[in-house]
Structures are given as structure tokens and as C-alpha cells.
Structure 1
Amino acid sequence: MIRVLLADDETMIRAGVKAILTTDPGIDVVAEAGDGREAVELARRHRPDVVLLDIRMPRLDGLGAAEELRTAVPESAVVMLTTFSEDAYIARALGGGVSGFLLKSGDPRELIAGVRAVAEGAAFLSPVVARRVLDTLGGERLSRAARARALLEPLTGREREVVALVGAGLSNAEIAARLFVVESTVKAHVSAVLARLELRNRVRLAVLAYEAGLVPEAPDA
């Protein structure tokens, strides 16, 4: 059972998020907080697997609470709940140890997937949030490498392996042999990643893999 602490100063938002999470029988909302200070106190008491934090809250905002939680309850993964108006907050937290970002208005299935991912030790960045960050904060604010890593963050471990091998210039057949799977499985992974990242072809995917540091040498384009 994944134990979740939910913090948001808006009662209706908390109720809506809780209602979505509890549709999954493997998730239990063990505590709710109305501000960041209360969230830290409840996290110390309940030791949840995942803490969902609104960014803007009274007494202590979500980013401040996340910083305290890293010390007070390091075993708890922290996920920020954000809106499109909070790009600067997202940029500030990118290197701060937060395990994920979820959009309040996003697909409910994404909320559950994100909680499950971070509870298992992975990072989860909503693809919509990732694109927003890259579009708004690119260039001077984030290096090409950081932007590439942010875009690839939501991928599964196996998808990242496939992307790395695409970046190394291997064909689908060669990737299949390397990973001990059938070629159709590799094709499915590549197609899914291209669609999710909105890339036109595997050349662009290879360049992205190189920029993210998944391969040591630049692919031939």
C-alpha cells in the first residue's frame, strides 16, 4: 500500500485529489494538510511514502516544505502540484530534489501514475509540465542538457535504455538483440516515445539522447 500525505490550502482541491487517488486500491491518503508547516509536521508523524505539495500555501510554501522534508523525512518522495502560472517556481525546484511535478488540471490517470512512479523510486514529470518548462525556461535558464534530461525524465527505465541505444546508432534489430526482446517490442517502445515527446523521427530522438548524456558520442545526423 502506498501511503500519501496531501497538502493544499484549498479544501476542494484536496477533496478532488483525494477522490482521484482513492480510486486506486493500492493508494491510501493517510493525512491532509492545509499549509506547508502542517505538512512537515504530519509527515514526521505519519512517515508517508509520498507527499503531494501544492506550491503556493500559507505559513510555508511547497518549495520550503520540500526542503524541510528532505531532511526531516528523507524516505518520503515529494511531488509538487502546480499550475501553468507557476513556471518560475518549477524552475527553482528542478534541482532541489523534488521527485516529480504534476498538473492540477491534468489527466487523473497521470496523477495516479505519478504517485506510483515516485513511490517506486522513479522521477515523474508531467509531459505537459515538461513541455511548458522547456518552452518557457529554455535557453539561458536551462542548458540543453538539462532540458533534454527534463524531457526524458518521465520515461520508464526500459524506454530510457531503448532511447540510449537509438542514440548510439543501433537499429531496432540490434537493440532487440542487446536487450533480449523481440524486434516488435523495440518498435513499439520507439513509436511510443516519439509520440509522447512529439518528435518527428528517431534522428531527433538520437540527438535528444546525446544531449541528455545517455550516449558518450554525438550521433551522426
Structure 2
Amino acid sequence: MGSKITVMLVDRREILREGLTAILQRDPSIEVVASFASGREAMEKASSIRPDIVITEADMPEDVYLELTHRIKEIPPETRIIVLTHAKQESALFRALRLGARAYLTKHISVDDLISTVHRVHAGEVIISAPMAAKMLDEFAYLEEKKDARQTDQETNLSKREIEVLELVAGGTTNKEVAEALFISENTVKGHLSRILEKMNARNRQQAVAMAMEKGIIKKKS
């Protein structure tokens, strides 16, 4: 039989740590070598214990568990981290993954699935529960959309105020109405429009609006 997978547990609740220990040690190839209530204490001991897997909670104070994840990743590079949570905390998920966590699961996971996750993470896999995976896809789509918007803004180099002016112009407002809506003078509006035309290489405001809609800088009017 090969060497066992060594596991460190980090959770504030003793009853949960004892329960996890009992569950994991049903598998003779897994050994719980340390158990800590304090994330900071676990960080101090991680370099000497050098566990294969750390199972920690996401429901501890956010700064503590994220620091734990980061420090364990840095000290023993081979250590892999599994994060358990009661809630579907997508914000914590993204940070944990960026810091090196290899699995992020809800505490409703079955015994068999937990043991399987330990083996799979030890083998190099990344495991995320289905609800969290869906959240990740939504977040990635949102980030991609923001990236495209930033690229579009960079292409035209329009300021936030110039985009606001364009949006109002697209609605058919006059310079005076734009000025009133933005609490600026008509001369300032004319200055913004002049810079917009120059930056977009447009002949007039109508062409600038059409180009801005085409590039997705402003929304097309229905």
C-alpha cells in the first residue's frame, strides 16, 4: 500500500472537525494529521506539518480564511486546499480560486463525494460544485463584457462625460437640453461635441451617434 494522503482540518467548530475526521478516516488511505480551530495557528504549523490537503471553511471571518489559503499555498507548494461552505458565497469562491484553492464545495456534500474529492484534488483535479460552477460562468461572462466595453472605450478614448453627452444627443436632445440635464453650460456641451467628433473622426453629431451605437459605446434606441 502506498503512503497515505495527509489532511489538515481548519474549522472553528470542534464538533465539525471531529465529524470530518471520523468521515475521512473511514478511508484507510487518508490520514488526518492535524486539526486546528484557528486559521492563524494552522498557518504557523503548515510549513512543518506539510499536509497533502487542507480542508478549511469559508464561513470563518473572510480575511482569516483567505489569508490562510494564501499562506498555505506559499509555504508548502505541494499542499492543496479544499474549501467548504454553508452558503453559496460566489465572491469568496473567486478569491479562493485565485489564491490557489483546488476545490470549493458546500457542506451538504455527501460522505462518498467528500472522500472522492480528497482523492481527486490530491491527483491534481480542480473541483467545484454545480451551483458554484454556474456562478463562475455568469461572472466570467460579466467580466468578458466589461473587458469588451473597456476595449471599446480605449479605441475611441471617450471620457465618461463625453459618453453621457452622446447618450443624450442620441435621444434627440438639443445642446441646451443636454446642458440642463448635465448641469453644465451650452458652451461646455459644444466643446464636448467638438472633441467627440474629432476623436471618432465623425463629420457630425448624427454620424457620431451612429458610430457609437455600432461600437456598443451607447445603447441602440428601440
TM range (shorter): 0.5 to 0.7
Task: Flag the 1:58–1:107 CA change in 2: closer, same or farther, 3 A.
Answer: same
Match of 1:139 in 2: 141
Q: Matches of 2:144 and 2:112 in 1, distance apart?
A: 29
Moved more, 65-74 or 93-102: 93-102
Unaligned runs of 5+ in 2: 146-222
Match of 2:22 in 1: 19
* Paired amino acid for 1:97: G
Question: TM-score of the superposition, structure 2-length normalised?
Answer: 0.57
Q: CA deviation at 1:57?
A: 2.6
Q: CA deviation at 1:59?
A: 9.6
Alignment size in residue pairs: 142
Question: TM-score of the superposition, structure 1-length normalised?
Answer: 0.58
* Paired amino acid for 2:59: R
Q: Matches of 1:138 and 1:58 in 2, distance apart?
A: 26
Q: Matches of 1:97 and 1:124 in 2, distance apart?
A: 12
Larger Rg belongs to: 2
Per-residue CA deviations over 1:81-114 (Å, capped at 9, x if unaligned) read 1222422111222322211112211111111111
Per-residue CA deviations over 1:146-204 (Å, capped at 9, x if unaligned) read xxxxxxxxxxxxxxxxxxxxxxxxxxxxxxxxxxxxxxxxxxxxxxxxxxxxxxxxxxx
**Residue 8 of structure 2 contacts residue 53 of structure 2 at CA under 8 Å; is this kept in 1?**
yes
Match of 1:36 among 39, 49, 74: 39
Match of 2:12 among 9, 32, 35: 9
**Residue 40 of structure 1 contacts residue 69 of structure 1 at CA under 8 Å; is this kept in 2?**
yes
Q: CA deviation at 1:17?
A: 1.5
Task: Flag the 1:128–1:32 CA change in 2: closer, same or farther, 3 A.
Answer: same
Same amino acid, percent of matched pairs: 33
Match of 1:108 among 98, 106, 111: 111
Task: Flag the 1:14–1:114 CA change in 2: closer, same or farther, 3 A.
Answer: same
Q: Matches of 2:135 and 2:12 in 1, distance apart?
A: 24
